[in-house]
Structure 1
């Protein structure tokens, strides 16, 4: 058995009250792992993405760009798959602005979209920024 104790972790909820998707972030000396859990489907569906230190910092930077109202510098369509995308998003009643983190694996059955409030996006960006202090350079 291999037991891991993350240095930092966070759990974030989707902003829709009737949507039970969750994003879990685990930061350890070995790297950063994003776990997206979707219990809305028949049975639970989970996507795990392992990020290097540089990738975690890149996603945090793009979240901060979107929070400032700028267009996030996402990878282009010709980018190797899979990759994470950060976009600004809105929701209807009541109207609100937010940020969406999604994964593009070129398999829409497995891709996820995680819309969140700007406060949640700010907290997520701050947590991902901590990777630079805790991920060992050899793992990054």
Structure 2
């Protein structure tokens, strides 16, 4: 239990710019999920051109899309940031090593760079957590305030 308390205490001393970076990362993942919903056939053809061609690409593209939407939204507001970041990491590893790296050209180099930067930021937020300005911290302090005041209805 002391390890968990040390992680929470460290998470509360994040600089404000890291909070802005978390919000930007969440917005990026959420917008990427919206882009996948708006053009789901592009994601399916992208998956069919990889080693995952024998897998059910429609199911896989749906899982990726919804993981980006929900995970991005949760990271954006700072709710379960560590868990959502851990769930995003395998998707980004697949985007880097299975989709972008084998077909690397100068035209899709920006997609590879974006995937690598996103992966690095996800690892940072697995370590750092959501910080002081987050839904996690709000719920934690709201719960503590209710326990300390002993409000009876």
Please confirm whether the aligned pair reaches a TM-score higher than 0.5, indicating the same fold: no
Quick check: which one's strand share is greater?
A: 1
Quick check: which one's helix share is greater?
A: 2
Greater RCO (Cα-Cα under 8 Å, separation 6 or more) = 2
Larger radius of gyration: 2
Give the TM-score band, short-chain normalised.
Answer: 0.3 to 0.5
TM-score by length of 1: 0.36
TM-score by length of 2: 0.33
